[in-house]
């Protein structure tokens, strides 16, 4: 298929006798915002964990830009340009917002170790370049009031944004958001909708978001996939999926 940046081809994930995902085929087109919806336990986050190599797929093929990534080491995924956020925020709590964002730059390298020990001028310039990129993200997400605050003391909504910022700092080609709007108030959710739109349009990053908030899905998603019991139940535009009888029965209700 042309234009598919990520393809899951008949992927399955079994935990012993439990099939979390069976026969799942999803393809993500470059430059789209794809929303994945579905009831709890449908395998949405498991699908994301398969792509980011937290779990090994029991069978099937996961291809990123044509390259099979289903057996790569877990730490290699970020280097390909795949970034993610977590459902329950996984920030580095004891570090400042700025350090969290700079950690997002890890895949671009921090210099040879002895240069780091000696703090050579070249390394200072490299650190400044990383910092400049982090500042771009801070400006994009309005994080400047929090720049030097420790994550442990931040309100929940801000932490969600910091996590998004950390993922953006790694300049990904595809960004996975695991329930980005959970726990946010309506105003924060509206901000998020604008940001997701800008991430796609201005930064050119493909976005896959797992989300329950249908208003956000309707606002930003180009395409919606509904999963249930480890399979794709329906896919298409937001309106098509929401009017699909199976989706209404399994997830949305009447």
Q: Which stretches of the chain bind another protein, using CB under 8 A?
A: 49, 52-54, 74-79, 83-84, 86-95, 99, 102-104, 106-107, 109-111, 113, 116-119, 123-124, 127-128, 131-132, 135, 152-153, 156, 166, 170
CB of 240 to another protein, least distance (A): 32
Q: Residues of 101-134 as b/e, b for ≥16 C-beta within 10 angstroms?
A: bbbbbebeeebeeeeeeeeeeebeebbeebeebb
Nearest to another protein of 14, 131 (CB atom): 131
Measured between alpha carbons, how far is 176 from 179 in angstroms, rounded to an integer? 9
Nearest to another protein of 149, 252 (CB atom): 149
CB of 203 to another protein, least distance (A): 18
Nearest to another protein of 112, 239 (CB atom): 112
DSSP conformational letter for 103: H
φ/ψ of residue 168, rounded to 5: -70, -30
Element (H, E) at 120: none
CB of 82 to another protein, least distance (A): 9
Nearest to another protein of 90, 246 (CB atom): 90
Nearest to another protein of 18, 132 (CB atom): 132
Residues shown for the chain: 254
CB of 131 to another protein, least distance (A): 4
Question: Residue with structure tokens 């470059």?
Answer: 30
- Structure tokens, 142: 């309005």
Q: Residues of 32-63 as b/e, b for ≥16 C-beta within 10 angstroms?
A: bbbbbbbbeebbbbbbbbbbbbebebeebebb
CB of 110 to another protein, least distance (A): 2
């Amino acid at each position: 298929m042309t234009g598919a940046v990520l393809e899951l081809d008949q992927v399955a994930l079994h935990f012993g006798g439990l099939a979390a995902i069976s026969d799942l085929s999803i393809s993500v087109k470059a430059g789209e915002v794809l929303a994945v919806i579905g009831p709890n336990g449908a395998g949405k986050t498991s699908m994301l964990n398969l792509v980011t190599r937290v779990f090994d797929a029991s069978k099937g093929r996961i291809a990123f830009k044509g390259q099979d990534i289903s057996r790569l080491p877990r730490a290699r995924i970020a280097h390909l340009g795949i970034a993610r956020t977590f459902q329950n925020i996984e920030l580095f709590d004891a570090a400042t917002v700025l350090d969290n964002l700079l950690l997002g730059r890890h895949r671009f390298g921090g210099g040879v170790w002895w240069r780091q020990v000696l703090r050579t001028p070249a390394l200072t310039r490299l650190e400044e370049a990383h910092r400049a990129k982090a500042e771009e993200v801070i400006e994009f997400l309005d994080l400047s009031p929090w720049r030097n605050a420790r994550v442990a003391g931040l309100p929940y909504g801000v932490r969600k944004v910091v996590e998004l910022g950390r993922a953006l700092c790694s300049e990904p080609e595809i960004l996975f958001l695991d329930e980005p709007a959970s726990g946010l108030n309506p105003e924060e959710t509206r901000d998020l909708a604008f940001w997701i739109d800008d991430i796609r349009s201005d930064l050119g990053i493909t976005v896959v978001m797992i989300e329950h908030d249908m208003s956000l899905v309707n606002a930003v998603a180009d395409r919606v996939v509904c999963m249930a019991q480890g399979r794709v139940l329906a896919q298409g535009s937001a309106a098509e999926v929401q009017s699909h009888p199976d989706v209404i029965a399994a997830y949305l209700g009447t």
